[in-house]
Structure 1
Amino acid sequence: MGQKVNPLSMRLQVHKGWVSRWFSGKRGYADWLAADIKVRDWIERRFATRATIGRIDIERSANLATITIYTAKAGVVIGRGGQGAQEIKAQVEKIIGMPVRVNIEEIKRPELSAKLVAENIARQLERRINFRRAVKMAAQNTLNAGAKGVRIQVAGRLNGAEMSRREKEIRGSVPLHTLRADVDYHLARARTPAGIIGVKVWIFKGEAAQV
């Protein structure tokens, strides 16, 4: 039986960092963790149809929480005249219960973000685009953007088939066991009339310097 581990968690402290950075005692830990999950869920739902959010980092100090949103379309998140950023700040302050600073960082190459690639494929599958075409185009675009390798796996009732199956597309090399390899990973779900199709994406960007 295969022993599988998330490529991101396996590389923590090697060259990957935590998306939540704070320290709490036993009493406040559960409340802060639940608030982090609520914040991420709310932001993801707000921009769910556009597949623009690559990562959300949350950092807390004694009296301030800093939310950094990495997005492929900064203008969509900021909104006209900064209205979108103000709405995010107000809602997050309600959830967290402390002053919040919102930073919005633009992702220069969305083709190198496993989350954005996986969600883009999932949205195409929901629009009933042929899965082979969607996967092959995504893999080629990722390689063209400068990745050393990409692996995409889709599983479920592909193209509305009677039986579920699993299909893979591998381009270049993706060394999952090499800790110094900078591998980005994400799992997305496409909700189709035939059922849920899982989309997994691994992107190898080259070897990273250890921290």
Structure 2
Amino acid sequence: MGQKIHPTGFRLGITQDHRSRWFAEAKRYPELLQEDYRIRNYIATDKDLKNAGIADVRIERKADQIELEIKTARPGVVVGRGGAGIESLRAGLQKLLNDPNRQIRINVVEVARVDADAVLIGEYVAQQLERRVSFRRVVRQAIQRAQRAGVEGIKIQVSGRLNGAEIARTEYTREGKVPLHTLRADIDYHYCTAQTIYGILGIKVWVFKGEVIPGQEEVAAPSANVQPRRRQQQRRRQQFEDRSNES
């Protein structure tokens, strides 16, 4: 039972940030929490944003204003021509919240490395499985793309009636290292499902992007010019032996 804990919740406040950042009175907390859920669900199911490749939605609240940060692989699809997509999304959210006067600010952020994002990798695998592509081929392609994007490790697990088998099973493929027990490890995790003609397949993706010291940037890899301590000690010992032979 060692690896059953959620990788994101395990690292909140260490290497992971909360997706919703606001403060409210105790009696209003359930209402605002439900609003956050409805906002994210609306964006995830919007037909106009189906092909936008949305990786994350961050929500902040200031007084009576809502600030949304949408991380997407295709910002042009979200923004639309002349900002029409943003205005349509804002109007839809105001209607959803039954408050046409609610101020909603929407910031669109492009995902830097699309092939290294766990959400986008999971959605890609799900789309391919729904098209009846072999799961081994899909997983291998996703891992190769992630490795080219520069990740240090990746693990993809698929569960269900794989390739239409009569008995459901679970298979996973891992490349590199994925240290789930290391708190300072930057683990990007996502779970999604694929609707196939044989039933539902569960997809889990873990992406290891390197170790992070809280409050600092990612730990830099040791330089090739810096020699390990043991090698330096061996060189000093060899120099000492040479001097003793000279004497």
The reply to whether TM is greater than 0.5 is: yes
Instruction: Quote the Cα distance in structure 1 between the aligned partners of 2:62 and 2:199.
Output: 43
SS of aligned partner of 1:24: coil
Change (3 A) 1:116 1:3: closer
- Amino acid paired to 2:20: S
| Map of 2:88 onto structure 1 | 87
Maintained 8 Å contact 1:51/1:120: no
| Among 207, 211, 218, the residue aligned to 1:207 | 211
Aligned pairs for 1:118-157 (under 5 A) are 118-157=122-161
Aligned pairs for 1:1-211 (under 5 A) are 1-2=1-2, 4-46=4-46, 49-50=50-51, 52-96=53-97, 97=99, 98-211=102-215
Tell me by how many angstroms 1:50 deviates: 2.3
1:166-205 deviations in whole A, cap 9, x for unaligned?
Answer: 1111000000000000000000100111110000000000
- Amino acid paired to 1:126: E
Instruction: Quote the Cα distance in structure 1 between the aligned partners of 2:91 and 2:212.
Output: 37
Greater alpha carbon shift after TM alignment, 96-105 vs 153-162: 96-105
Instruction: Quote the Cα distance in structure 1 between the aligned partners of 2:37 and 2:84.
Output: 23
Identity of aligned residues (%): 45
Q: What is the TM-score when the length of structure 1 is the normalising length?
A: 0.96
Instruction: Quote the Cα distance in structure 2 between the aligned partners of 1:15 and 1:129.
Output: 35
Maintained 8 Å contact 2:19/2:59: yes
Change (3 A) 1:187 1:71: same
Unaligned 5+ segments in structure 1 are: none
Instruction: Quote the Cα distance in structure 2 between the aligned partners of 1:29 and 1:95.
Output: 18
Which has the higher Rg, Structure 1 or Structure 2?
A: 2
Q: What is the TM-score when the length of structure 2 is the normalising length?
A: 0.82
- Amino acid paired to 1:158: L
Maintained 8 Å contact 1:190/1:198: yes
| Map of 2:236 onto structure 1 | none
| Higher RCO (CA 8 Å, separation ≥ 6 residues) | 1
Any runs of at least 4 consecutive aligned residues in structure 1 with deviations exceeding 2 A, and if so which?
Answer: 47-51, 93-98
Greater alpha carbon shift after TM alignment, 48-57 vs 73-82: 48-57
Change (3 A) 1:49 1:92: closer
1:60-89 deviations in whole A, cap 9, x for unaligned?
Answer: 011211001000000111112211111111
